[in-house]
Each structure stands twice: as C-alpha cells, then as structure tokens.
Amino acid sequence: MNEQALLAAIGAMMDEKLEAVMTEIQGLKERTTKLEIAMEHQIDRAIKLLGEGHESLRQTIEERLSTKEQQEKSDVRIFALEEIAKKHTAQIEELQEKIS
C-alpha cells in the first residue's frame, strides 16, 4: 500500500469516528433539550403549587384575623350589654324598694 492509499484509509477511519462522535453529540444535545423542557415543566408546576399553598395560607390567616376581630367586637358588645343589664337590675331594685 502506498502512502496516498494509507493516508486515504486513515482519513476515512477518522471521518467515520468523527461522524460517530458527532452523532453522539447530537443525541446528547437532544437529550439535554428534552431534560431542560421537562425540568421547566416541573419547576413551573412546583411554583404553581407553592403559590396555591401560599394563597391557601393567606386566606386562612385572613379568616382567622377576621374571626378574631369579630370575636373582639362581640366581646365588647357583650361586656357593654352586661354592664347595662347590671345597671338596669340595680335601677329596678331601687324602684321596687321605693314602691314597697
């Protein structure tokens, strides 16, 4: 085999190996792209779930604060009504003493 034929054979072998490596690199690129897309979807879903969880917590806190405020208002009203009832009871007792 002369030098030219030997160089041509080596060149052909190198071309085959280069083509195999390029095919493998292309496959890796495709897999990487698919992986990136899958990760984006999972991250988007996780963020959405997290947001929904925060919204649920916010609503719960608002409800509890609202309930607490309503309870405080009710406590004030009950206290005022109890004081009025005590005052009226005392007045009724005074009137009954005056009548008797």
pTM of the predicted protein model: 0.42
Q: Which residue has the tokens 């604060």?
A: 65
How far is Cα 53 from Cα 2, in angstroms, rounded to an integer? 76
- Tens of pLDDT, residue by residue over 25-60, are 999 999 999 999 988 889 888 888 888 888 888 888
- Please report how many Cα atoms fall inside a 13 Å half-sphere around the Cα of residue 53, on the Cβ side: 6
Residue 88 has pLDDT above 80, yes or no: yes
Q: What does each C-alpha distance from 70 to 48, 51, 74, 82, 83 come to in angstroms?
A: 33, 28, 6, 18, 20
Q: What are phi and psi of 83, to 5 degrees?
A: -65, -40
